[in-house]
Amino acid sequence: MIDTGDPTELESIEETIKDLGLKVDFAIVTHGHVDHAGNGKYFREQYGIEIMGGRGDQSLFKEGTNGKICPTSGSARIVQALATESYDVFEPDIYVESELDLSEMGVKGKVTPMPGHTEGSLVIQIEDVLFVGDVLRGEPSGNTDPAIHFFQCDLAHNRRNISKLVSSYDCETWFTGHMGSVKKDAVVTFLKEQ
């Protein structure tokens, strides 16, 4: 499982897992914000799954809060005002501090720290798909164009992270934490236009 979701979406997430007939053995939390890590404690206690998170977000997991976030627009401030503010604290079973090969867990892929959106943000490659968390987001219209995430405290650093992902991964499909997937070619165009 990539991310455990917002506590307000727990019932829907559980229904989806059951409807698809999935068995979840472990979860990788892209970062310690409530909408990504908020159900970590529940899934561990209810299903006995192991949870992996970035070492840099240890304080977020222990406090169950988003910590410092920096809105990038007026609409981001609205999103911030409507967001869930806290979650049940938990300690990940595995802290990722450097690139981690997932083959020992039966998955062809790797987890790589990418501090930026949070200090402990992680990027996950599984086969030819890249899960980028909140490094960027999709567009509300549902098309495959990328956009700057609602919350970034250092836009120049975020741009460097996106550029690093473009040059380091051959994955054509990137799943963002919000508003769907984007294509690598669209990310390249996005960077040129910024």
pLDDT greater than 90 at residue 194 = no
Q: Are 62 and 87 within 8 A, CB to CB?
A: no
How far apart are alpha carbons 149 and 110 in whole angstroms?
A: 23
pLDDT on residue 22? 94
Contacts 24+ apart (CB under 8 A), 66-75: 66/32, 66/33, 66/34, 67/32, 67/118, 68/153, 69/33, 69/151, 69/153, 70/151, 70/152, 70/153, 71/150, 71/151, 72/148, 72/149, 72/150, 72/151, 72/152, 72/155, 73/150, 75/150
pLDDT on residue 144? 72
Contacts 24+ apart (CB under 8 A), 44-50: 44/90, 44/93, 49/1, 49/24, 49/25, 50/25, 50/26, 50/93, 50/94
Instruction: Report the chain's mean pLDDT, rounded to a whole number.
Output: 95
Q: Of 100, 121, 154, give the one whose Cα is nearest residue 32.
A: 121
Q: Determine the CATH number of domain 7-193.
A: 3.60.15.10
Query: What does the pLDDT look like over 130-152, one tens digit per residue?
Result: 999 999 998 876 667 899 999 99
pLDDT on residue 142? 63
**Which residues make beta-bridge pairs with 138?**
146
pLDDT tier for residue 180 given thresholds of 50, 70 and 90: confident
**CA dihedral angle for residue 69, residue 72, residue 78, residue 81, rounded to 10 degrees:** 10
pLDDT on residue 145? 85
Query: What does the pLDDT look like over 61-116, one tens digit per residue?
Result: 999 999 999 999 998 999 999 988 899 999 999 999 999 999 989 999 999 999 99
**CA dihedral angle for residue 94, residue 98, residue 104, residue 106, rounded to 10 degrees:** 90
pLDDT on residue 176? 96
pLDDT tier for residue 54 given thresholds of 50, 70 and 90: very high
pLDDT on residue 143? 67
pLDDT > 90 in the chain, percent: 90
pTM: 0.95
